[in-house]
Amino acid sequence: MAELRFEGVRKVFAGGTVAVDDVTLEVRDGEFMVFVGPSGSGKSTLLRVMAGLEAPTGGTVRVDGEDVTVAEPRERDLAMVFQAYALYPHKTVRENLEFGLRMRGVKASERRERAEAIARTLGIAPLLHRKPAELSGGQRQRVALGRALVREPKAFLLDEPLSNLDPGLRLDARAELARLHRKTATTFLYVTHDQEEAMSLGDRVAVLREGRVQQVAPPMELYRKPANRFVAEFIGSPSMNIRRCTATARGTGGGVRIEGPGFDLHLDDGRAHELPHEILLGIRPHDVLPVDGDEAPRDADGEIELVEPRGSDLLVRLRLTPEAVLSVVAPPDLGAAEGDRMAVRLPPDRLHFFDPRDGTRVGPDGAS
């Protein structure tokens, strides 16, 4: 069990690449923390700095309050699980599980007991005599996890451990990881580029971009109250619609008029007066509501350009103007086809606003 801290951590590689830029963040004792961001955003580098595989250019890393910035990896007592499982190919599963304990001088009978207990937990007990080449990808992944678990480290550092697995197995392995986390109550720090995986696993998720933390929050808070445009577009699928528009106050108590390409909205919320004139309006495709009938109130309408069936729902591309399209997730019984006209509502409590200059969230917290 351990609390992990990054304090003002910076990493500049030879050649001048700033991989991590002033990251301060705490992973709480027993927490499942996920770092998510596009490729190259500095996730792995941060993990490697915590593991002691990479020395930071500046800042401090702590395990349970203790400064370990220059400590050797093995002194930190953290277990790292990589994408490439790196099992010993000539050793059996049992020998792979016991190897780390052997290196630490744990005696044979205890090694045996601990390896067997972990193998039972992971459902790989029947495979103890096999070699890695005789295992499936999923089984190998369990052995790699088992090898980390058997050491009972203070925390686990996992770098895209599921990315080599087939989609079906990935879901199983994800559920298994969540279960293991609950069972061991150990701190997990997990890196992935997959926002859906991050959302499903993390107690909290840190979104990274270009070496900087954009937001750290529980998954649903990231989804409902993204701190900026980048988080808004990165989290959630399909991506949030974002349109540049103008906000104009309509006099005392008269609300605010929001105008943009293909839509014209009126907000009654008094706090909307705080909006800057130029604004980015965001709404998730799931929050746009198709409306029925020619007379029904509407905030926008357009021509359906594309309907993509997704099984449980439809993804509709609605052309509002020659320049503007809106993605809409519609129910499967929509009853409209490509070429038809469709009207929609944009519920005020589902709108997000961002400052076009720096992308930060502004205005009334409608989407809560």
Find the part of the chain contacting ligand ADP (CB under 6 A) among 41-49, 57-65, 149-157, 230-238: 41-49
Burial of 103 (0-12, 13-18, 19+ CB in 10 A): exposed
Find the part of the chain contacting ligand ADP (CB under 6 A) among 40-48, 163-171, 212-220, 255-263: 40-48
Question: If binding is defined by CB under 6 A, does position 41 make contact with ligand ADP?
Answer: yes
For residue 338 the two structure tokens come to 């490509």
* Residue of 2, 4, 9, 19 interacting with ligand ADP (CB under 6 A): 19
For ligand ADP, the closer of residues 42 and 359 by Cβ is: 42
Asked if 189 and 28 count as a contact pair (C-beta separation under 8 A), the reply is: no
Amino acid code (one letter) for 208: L
Least gap, CB of 366 to ligand ADP (angstroms): 32
Find the part of the chain contacting ligand ADP (CB under 6 A) among 42-50, 68-76, 258-266, 278-286: 42-50
What whole-number distance in Å separates Cα of residue 11 and Cα of residue 23? 10
Task: Give how many residues touch ligand ADP by CB under 6 A.
Answer: 11
Tell the residue number behind the tokens 């709108």, with chain if given.
351
Question: If binding is defined by CB under 6 A, does position 17 make contact with ligand ADP?
Answer: yes
What whole-number distance in Å separates Cα of residue 41 and Cα of residue 234? 13
Handedness of CA 199, 201, 203, 204 (dihedral sign): negative
Question: If binding is defined by CB under 6 A, does position 209 make contact with ligand ADP?
Answer: no
Question: If binding is defined by CB under 6 A, does position 139 make contact with ligand ADP?
Answer: no
CA-nearest of 348, 319, 318 to 330 is 318
Asked if 350 and 283 count as a contact pair (C-beta separation under 8 A), the reply is: yes
Question: If binding is defined by CB under 6 A, does position 40 make contact with ligand ADP?
Answer: yes
Question: If binding is defined by CB under 6 A, does position 37 make contact with ligand ADP?
Answer: yes
Question: If binding is defined by CB under 6 A, does position 141 make contact with ligand ADP?
Answer: no
Question: If binding is defined by CB under 6 A, does position 56 make contact with ligand ADP?
Answer: no
* Residue of 16, 39, 65, 252 interacting with ligand ADP (CB under 6 A): 39
What whole-number distance in Å separates Cα of residue 64 and Cα of residue 172? 32
Question: If binding is defined by CB under 6 A, does position 228 make contact with ligand ADP?
Answer: no
What whole-number distance in Å separates Cα of residue 290 and Cα of residue 351? 16
* Residue of 9, 44, 192, 214 interacting with ligand ADP (CB under 6 A): 44
* Residue of 42, 56, 260, 290 interacting with ligand ADP (CB under 6 A): 42
Question: If binding is defined by CB under 6 A, does position 136 make contact with ligand ADP?
Answer: no
Query: What 3-state DSSP class applies to 260?
Result: strand
Find the part of the chain contacting ligand ADP (CB under 6 A) among 12-20, 57-65, 174-182, 305-313: 12-20
* Residue of 2, 33, 45, 262 interacting with ligand ADP (CB under 6 A): 45
* Residue of 1, 8, 13, 264 interacting with ligand ADP (CB under 6 A): 13
CA distances for 311 relative to 80, 305, 307, angstroms:
38, 19, 12
Mutual orientation of helices 93-103 and 108-122 as an angle, nearest 10°? 130
Handedness of CA 107, 110, 111, 112 (dihedral sign): positive
Residue ranges binding ligand ADP (CB under 6 A):
13, 17, 19, 37, 39-45
